[in-house]
Structure formats: structure tokens, C-alpha cells
């Protein structure tokens, strides 16, 4: 669909987001009256003023179309391009604020989500990621800013601009994703990683949902890797078949992980003043946050874990009390 056709079908309302890609507006479908989100993606030009290869836009359209039909992934309604005006437009379902925005509001209110609430949210995110992986794509940039939440607490994964088909063999681009959610193998420069980099990011998001902050907050790749190893130890990454003796930060602790100290069992939480997490919940968290991707839980494996045997309805009943 030409961009002019897309623009003619929707009435643009107010701006609701922005980024390096461009702007996102709330809009109304003139045919149905439905409120949608319109994402305007900037087109970059080379020195001869010709439009540069629009692979990012094409990649996002392809990924959204391939992953359509799942309730935990934002749905694409229409898209278009106008090569003369530098406008690429995606029209998607309107959901609500980002998970990051919701979490910031919660921090201001000094409230943290219960383990049951986190389980409900993680079930949705893992199911969305599992669907993407089954459809042959890895997201490569999962983070709270790329997750939307509606008024009922339902989550939807969005911003698939860095998504990549797993049908295409490596090497893949290195240094992908946002630093605080970047998997150790990517920090070490791997270009033959797989969809399990999404599992790592989901583990970081789970930790952040529980405690209100990401446990790994480096400012560079080296700093980020240092923070990871300071908590999880170095042995796990050294057991990875892709580890070829690459340099690791100095001053690392022993082989053991200190992650359980950050998320103690409920009986010890009152003593340590840290976020409580059941044994089953910790098994999921630590399984997602394995430095060795060969031992890391996939979304499908995580969803089969006993932590998720409690139904959504039971979790919701607990939330309403």
C-alpha cells in the first residue's frame, strides 16, 4: 500500500512516542472509527540523495506479518512507503503505554509487583517470544520499552525493527540490542548467536519486574559483562562451547552465583530486605539468566516449568484481593 493511501485512510491525532526511528501517533481509522498507532520511520539518504536500502522497515514488516495472530505480539494493520518524502509508515493496533512507563509510575508509588503478578506477566512475554521463535524470528531487542501494556494488564511485544529470521544462517550483526539486556555471548562478540538471546533479555525483564531494577547496569560492553560475572560467576560462560578463551573482566568472584542473594526465598526476605522469590520462581529466573546459552531456558522450556502450573485465573484472583 502506498504511503499516500495509508495517510488517506487514517486521521492522525496526538503524538504518543518517539525514538531514533521517528515518531508514533495515535490515529483514527476513517472507515471503522478504530483507534490505531501509526509509526513513522525515518528514511535515511546517502550522499547522492538516493534512498538507502530500506532493510530495517522491510524487516519489521516481514516479522510483524510472520508473527501475526498472537495476542502477546502487536498486530500490524497496514503499511506503506513513499520514496520521495522519506516516510515509511506502519499502522498497528493501539495498545497503551510501554511497560517501562508503567514501571516508572509504580516506582514513584513505591509499589512492587507480587510474584504472582510477575508470573502472569512473564507467561505472556514468554508465550509471545515462543510464538516468534516458532515462526522463525528472534526479536533481538526485548526490553520494557518494546513491550506495551493495555488497561487490563495484557502485554504485547512490539518494535520488531531488529528482528531477524533464524532461517538465515550466521554470521549475524554483533552488538545488537540494548546494552542492559544484551546477552553475554553478544557482549563477547559472538556473531553466531541464536534466539536464546531473547531468553536472556526476558530474564532481565523478570528481575526488573520483581525488584524494580535491572541487576546489570553497565555503561559499556566490558562494564556490562563485569556486572554480570560479578553476580553470576565466570564458570558458566567458560563452559560455553563458543567460549574460546576470550578476555573476561578481572576481579571476578568465585565460580558460584550470587543471584539467589538478590532474590531470597520468602522465609529469608524479611531478614535481607530483598525481593522474595519462591524456589520454583527462582528456577525460572536463574534458568533464563544462564551465561552459557547452551544451558539457558528457551521460552518454550520455561513455560513448561512448574512455576507456571498455577492458572492465570488464580493469579488474577490474588491480584484483586
Known binding residues for ATP are: 39
CA angle 207/274/248 to nearest 5° reads 55
Q: Among this protein's residues, is 14 annotated catalytic? A: no
Residue 257: closest CA among 188, 196, 203:
203
* CA dihedral sign, ordered 73, 74, 79, 83: negative
Do residues 202 and 183 make contact, with C-beta atoms less than 8 angstroms apart? no
Where helices occur in the chain by DSSP H, the ranges are 3-9, 55-66, 99-108, 115-134, 184-187, 196-211, 221-232, 235-238, 259-262, 266-272, 279-288, 299-303, 312-320
Which residue in the block uniquely carries the three cell numbers 532481565? 204
Residue 290: closest CA among 212, 189, 204, 166:
204
- Binding site per annotation, positions: 39
Cell numbers standing for residue 119: 508470573
**Which entry of 88, 141, 159, 236 is annotated as an active-site residue?**
141
Which residue in the block uniquely carries the three cell numbers 576470550? 246
For the annotated catalytic residues, the residue numbers are 141
Amino acid at each position: 500500500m502506498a504511503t499516500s493511501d495509508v495517510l488517506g485512510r487514517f486521521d492522525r491525532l496526538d503524538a504518543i512516542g518517539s525514538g531514533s526511528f521517528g515518531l508514533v501517533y495515535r490515529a483514527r481509522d476513517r472507515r471503522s472509527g478504530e483507534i490505531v498507532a501509526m509509526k513513522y520511520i525515518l528514511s535515511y539518504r546517502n550522499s547522492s540523495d538516493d534512498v538507502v536500502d530500506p532493510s530495517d522497515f522491510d524487516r519489521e514488516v516481514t516479522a510483524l506479518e510472520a508473527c501475526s495472530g498472537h495476542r502477546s505480539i502487536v498486530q500490524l494493520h497496514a503499511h506503506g512507503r513513499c520514496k520521495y518524502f522519506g516516510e515509511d509508515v506502519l499502522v498497528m493496533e493501539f495498545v497503551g503505554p510501554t511497560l517501562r512507563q508503567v514501571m516508572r509510575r509504580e516506582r514513584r508509588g513505591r509499589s512492587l509487583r507480587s510474584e504472582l503478578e510477575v508470573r502472569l506477566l512473564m507467561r505472556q512475554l514468554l508465550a509471545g517470544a515462543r510464538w516468534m521463535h516458532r515462526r522463525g524470528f528472534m526479536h533481538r531487542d526485548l526490553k520494557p520499552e518494546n513491550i506495551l501494556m493495555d488497561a487490563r494488564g495484557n502485554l504485547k511485544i512490539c518494535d520488531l525493527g531488529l528482528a531477524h529470521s533464524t532461517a538465515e544462517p550466521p554470521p549475524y550483526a554483533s552488538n545488537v540490542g540494548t546494552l542492559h539486556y544484551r546477552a553475554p555471548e553478544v557482549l563477547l562478540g559472538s556473531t553466531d548467536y541464536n534466539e536464546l538471546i531473547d531468553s536472556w533479555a526476558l530474564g532481565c525483564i523478570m528481575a526488573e519486574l520483581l525488584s524494580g531494577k535491572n541487576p546489570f547496569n553497565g555503561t559499556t560492553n566490558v562494564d556490562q559483562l563485569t556486572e554480570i560475572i560479578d553476580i553470576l560467576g565466570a564458570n558458566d560462560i567458560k563452559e560455553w562451547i563458543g567460549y574460546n578463551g576470550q578476555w573476561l573482566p578481572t576481579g571476578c568472584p568465585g565460580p558460584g552465583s550470587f543471584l539467589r542473594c538478590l532474590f531470597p526465598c520468602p522465609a529469608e526476605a524479611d531478614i535481607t530486605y530483598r525481593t522474595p522469590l519462591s524456589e520454583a520462581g527462582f528456577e525460572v529466573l536463574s534458568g533464563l539468566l544462564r551465561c552459557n546459552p547452551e544451558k539457558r531456558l528457551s521460552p518454550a522450556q520455561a513455560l513448561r516449568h512448574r512455576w507456571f502450573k498455577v492458572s492465570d485465573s488464580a493469579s488474577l484472583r490474588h491480584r484483586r484481593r
